[in-house]
Chain A
Amino acid sequence: MEPEAKYTIVGAAALLLVALLAVAVVWLRSSGEGADAHRYKIYFERYSLEGLEPRSHVTMRGIKVGTVAGFRFSPNAKGAVELIIAVDKGTPVRKSTTATTERHLVTGLATVKLANATEDSPLLEEAPPGEPYPVIREGEAPAQQVSETITQLAQRADDTMQRLNRTLTPENIAAITEIVENLRRASGRVDALLAKADATFVSVGSAAEEMRALSAEVRSEAKTLTDRYSGLGADASASVGEIREAVRKMSADMDRIAKRADTLLAGGNEDLRETARSVRAAADSLGAAAGRLRDPRVIIYGPPEGGLGPGEKTR
């Protein structure tokens, strides 16, 4: 006698399994990562997205606050890549927030870094017309390797401003004091603030005009340093030799600036000489930063065999 097939039970079990599967999917989607996330869009035009993948981390002040949901070449903005990110609820994404990418030196994996220029800015909640999500601006932060140098430059600019105070009119002192305070608060905005300082220097006289030109040159070199390294970071095919050559050029630029500062030191009054020393010190800092980055292989693997000095050893 053949066993009686219990089709009702088999069918019910199958239906139950399907239902359980559906519930599990819904539950996972509702309670998993991204459930309460806010989505934002970023148009990246200048930054390379090499090393960025779906689910790559999004960070703010070093904390992971979300993931990359997807990206594609923008059909609207020529040459730009549209990036959709899912950011945890409660993350203070503001209208002043900017987005940059950072790449790990060794692994090459990239993350999206969000930064708020000011915490006084309102939250970014509304999507622009024609956009499904609010849009975060692409940042202009320098490459990480030289950000420290830029900060040093801001600090030295602070000293420079203080020394120049003695030769300025009260109105200019007030303007420069404001700049110095801003520099302390936001060293990342060095370029724009020093541009404001340039306008103030005009009334000081021809000697200060020369100093202004020198300061501008140092600032320009800082930007060049930043741009060149940003470019190299974006170009994965850049060989070690090319990097070394680029930094060698930067070192030569720094030497030229330092020599000009020396010329200024030979003449002028004491205040200007002190100021020139500050500018020279800034140039030296940039040159030293370039020197430290001269050969990436040494940074990673240490000095070559036979390159050690007397008494030195790799343990």
Chain B
Amino acid sequence: MRPVPAFVLAACLAGCSVPGPREPDRFFILEAQAAAAPRAGGPVAVEPTSSASFYDTQDIAFSRAPGVRAYYQFNHWTERPARSVHAQLESRLGGTGKAGTVLVTHLEEIYHDAAEEPGAARITVSARLEDAASRAVLARRSFTRSAPAASYDAQGAVRGFNQALAALVGDIEAWVDAETAKKPRP
């Protein structure tokens, strides 16, 4: 084969192997809707929410089969979900003044259950309430909430996540208020 046609053929092949245009990356905010009623209980010190390592990333996780998780490739959180969860809890439970109790939370799971269309957004957070002075554990509990995805994609799942997070924060708030009410006053 002559050199010039060979070069042209090689160039054409190289052109075919170059990746084409791809879907643009999208970033979503994880935020719960603001609660309608103001909180009655006293302030609680909310420690930063820790996270299971798989979910400690800006990538949105999904599951097509039980026990299997993967990440969306082009859809991400604007920040790691544990930090969003912490921000929501702090804005709801924190406040001015000295806090007598400390809330410690751990994000166990946050993923789009996509086994069936459109699937559901699931969030699980374990919580522990401690005495601020002695650090004695007053109570502990795990909270799970899910909400249907609006559509079978990341955008629909995020709507579900926001609903689920709002409900979950409400659950934790009610639990904290109930537990702190039990605590004997000094």
Q: Does A301 contact B (CB under 8 A)?
A: yes
With A262-B48, A309-B75, A310-B154: A315-B20 Cβ-Cβ less than 8 Å = yes
- The reply to whether A310 and B152 contact each other, CB–CB distance below 8 Å, is yes
With A262-B47, A284-B80, A288-B58: A311-B73 Cβ-Cβ less than 8 Å = no
Q: Pick the contact of A311 from B48, B64, B71, B153 — CB < 8 Å?
A: B153
Kindly list chain B residues whose C-beta atoms are within 8 Å of the C-beta of A300. 19
Q: Pick the contact of B62 from A266, A284, A309, A314 — CB < 8 Å?
A: A309
Kindly list chain B residues whose C-beta atoms are within 8 Å of the C-beta of A53. none
Taking the nearest CB of chain A, how far is it from the CB of B22, in angstroms? 5
**Distance, CA A259 to CA B49, complexed state (A):** 11
**Distance, CA A127 to CA B178, complexed state (A):** 80
Q: Does A303 contact B (CB under 8 A)?
A: yes
**Distance, CA A205 to CA B59, complexed state (A):** 39
Q: Does A291 contact B (CB under 8 A)?
A: yes
Q: Pick the contact of A312 from B19, B21, B23, B50 — CB < 8 Å?
A: B23
- The reply to whether B152 and A311 contact each other, CB–CB distance below 8 Å, is yes
**Distance, CA A313 to CA B156, complexed state (A):** 16
Q: Which residues of B contact A (CB under 8 A)?
A: 19-23, 47-48, 50, 53, 56-58, 60, 62, 64, 70-75, 80, 102, 112, 114, 117, 119, 151-157
Taking the nearest CB of chain B, how far is it from the CB of A264, in angstroms? 10
The residue in chain B whose Cβ has the minimal distance to the Cβ of A258 is: B56
- The reply to whether A291 and B57 contact each other, CB–CB distance below 8 Å, is yes
Interface size class of A (residues with CB under 8 A): 20 to 34
Q: Does A308 contact B (CB under 8 A)?
A: yes
The residue in chain A whose Cβ has the minimal distance to the Cβ of B112 is: A310
- The reply to whether A312 and B48 contact each other, CB–CB distance below 8 Å, is no
- The reply to whether A308 and B153 contact each other, CB–CB distance below 8 Å, is no
Kindly list chain A residues whose C-beta atoms are within 8 Å of the C-beta of B50. 259, 262
- The reply to whether A309 and B22 contact each other, CB–CB distance below 8 Å, is no
- The reply to whether A309 and B23 contact each other, CB–CB distance below 8 Å, is no
**Distance, CA A121 to CA B96, complexed state (A):** 53
Taking the nearest CB of chain B, how far is it from the CB of A5, in angstroms? 43
Q: Does A274 contact B (CB under 8 A)?
A: no
Taking the nearest CB of chain B, how far is it from the CB of A292, in angstroms? 10
Interface string of A274-315 (1 = CB under 8 A from B): 000000100010001001000000001111000111111111
5 nearest CB pairs, A to B? A311-B153, A309-B72, A303-B73, A310-B114, A314-B22
- The reply to whether A310 and B119 contact each other, CB–CB distance below 8 Å, is yes
Taking the nearest CB of chain B, how far is it from the CB of A156, in angstroms? 14
**Distance, CA A309 to CA B26, complexed state (A):** 13
**Distance, CA A288 to CA B76, complexed state (A):** 12
- The reply to whether B153 and A266 contact each other, CB–CB distance below 8 Å, is no
Kindly list chain A residues whose C-beta atoms are within 8 Å of the C-beta of B102. 266
- The reply to whether B20 and A312 contact each other, CB–CB distance below 8 Å, is no
Could you list some 20 contacts between A and B, CB below 8 A?
Answer: A255-B53, A255-B56, A262-B50, A265-B48, A280-B48, A284-B80, A288-B58, A291-B57, A308-B72, A309-B71, A309-B72, A309-B75, A309-B153, A311-B152, A311-B153, A311-B154, A311-B155, A313-B23, A314-B19, A315-B22
- The reply to whether B154 and A302 contact each other, CB–CB distance below 8 Å, is no
- The reply to whether A315 and B73 contact each other, CB–CB distance below 8 Å, is no
